[in-house]
Amino acid sequence: MKSIHRILASAAIFLSAVLLFADSPIDRQYFGSITLPLGRVLVQHEVSDDWMNAGYKDSVHIREKVKTLAKSRCEITLKERAILRIGEKTVIEIVPALESRKQVTIRSGNAWVGLLWDDPNSTIRVRTPAAVCAIRGTVCRISCDSVYTHCLVYDGTVFITPIKLGTEEEEDSSFVVNAGEELLLIGDFEKYKKAQEEAFRKFEEQELDELERFKREQEEEFHEFKRVDEKAFQQFKSFYFSSKQFDQEADRKIDWVQWNIERDKIVNK
């Protein structure tokens, strides 16, 4: 009789474990691995509201978030020669996408995508508050916040589809941005100008050593904006946009760009 009770108890424990693991994230879909966490890099798992420290070679899965704090960066390797890097104070959410394409959402911050071969399986969509950037066989960088999306393409082509203001729906037309070109897409033009002016005001208040660093990263963009006649921005439905060739020599002086180019050289070896 005791043997029967032991068997029934063991079976109950086993069944409970099966049910527990059935509801656990053990079948999470793999997205990539963290191959370079610099500074404070955190991961939030699908089933938790807590942020956990991320380490080298940690796996990242669909429906998880990755966050960098101040003076921090993170490189995620999707597969050989396919990478996604994010700059400081950036949060990405890895979300399911149609047709098994990888997709991440960035509300605010900086990202560098290097898909260093033209492989349909290496496609990634980067969704910002204003647009969706479809990237394949391409090297590009993207910065955004709730007002603007800025994309510079170094190799290949990126297709950028605006999102209808106040909705989650994509417009039925896309911008094509080729190597050497940049696209600045603005949802609220007046708010964008005020943000640029505020950034420059903060720039003037920096300590001298920080001022030089900030100058390299922000001043040129601000003054370029001030030099350009606002009429150069064209209206596309409810958005304003500017599309042009960018100064690659000046661009390479930006620390974020220099670092990514060096990392890409390592990936290409």
| Residue-wise pLDDT tens digits, 95-114 | 987 666 789 999 999 999 99
Q: What is the mean predicted confidence (pLDDT) over 41-69?
A: 95
pLDDT for 2: 47
Q: How far is CA 232 from CA 17, 193, 225, 235, 243, in A?
A: 63, 14, 10, 10, 9
In this predicted structure, the answer to whether residue 191 has a pLDDT above a threshold of 80 is: no
Rounded distance, CA 150 to CA 247, Å? 15
Strands 102-106 and 91-95 turn out to be antiparallel
Give the pLDDT score at 17.
44
Lowest mean pLDDT among 70-79, 84-93, 221-230: 221-230
- The set of residues, in sequence order, having a beta carbon less than 8 Å from that of 35 and lying 6+ positions away, is 56, 57, 75, 76, 77, 83
Q: Give pairs for 19-27: CB < 8 Å, separation 24+.
A: 25/61
Specify the CATH number of the domain 71-268.
2.60.120.1440
Percent of the chain with pLDDT over 70: 72
Q: Is the pLDDT of residue 24 over 80?
A: no
Q: How far is residue 39's CA from residue 124's CA, in Å, rounded to a whole number?
A: 26
Radius of gyration of the chain (CA): 22
Q: List residues bridging with 124 in a β-sheet.
A: 102, 135
Rank 1-15, 125-139, 192-206 by mean pLDDT and report only the highest.
125-139
Q: How do residues 144-158 score in pLDDT, each as one tens digit?
A: 998 889 999 999 999
Question: Predicted confidence band at 215 (pLDDT cuts at 50, 70, 90)?
Answer: low
How far from 177 is each of 87, 132, 184, CA to CA, in Å?
A: 22, 13, 11
Q: Which pLDDT score is estimated for 20?
A: 40
| pLDDT for res 116 | 75
Higher pLDDT, 170 or 217: 170
Each residue's pLDDT tens digit, 172-190 = 889 999 999 999 998 777 7
Main-chain dihedrals φ then ψ at residue 257, nearest 5 degrees = -70, -45
Per-residue H/E/C for the chain: CHHHHHHHHHHHHHHHHHHHHHCCHHHCCEEEEEEEEECCEEEECCCCCCCEECCCCCEEECCCEEEECCCCEEEEEEECCEEEEECCCCEEEEECCHHHCEEEEECCEEEEEEECCCCHHHCEEEECCCEEEEEEEEEEEEEECCCEEEEEEEEEEEEEEEECCCCCCECCCCEEEECCEEEEEECCHHHHHHHHHHHHHHHHCCCHHHHHHHHHHHHHHHHHHHHCCHHHCEEECCEEEEEEECCHHHHCCCHHHHHHHHHHHHHHC
- Asked if the model's pLDDT at residue 83 lies above 70, the reply is yes
Compute the mean pLDDT over every residue in the chain, rounded to the nearest whole number: 81
Rounded distance between C-alpha atoms, residue 216 and residue 27, angstroms: 45
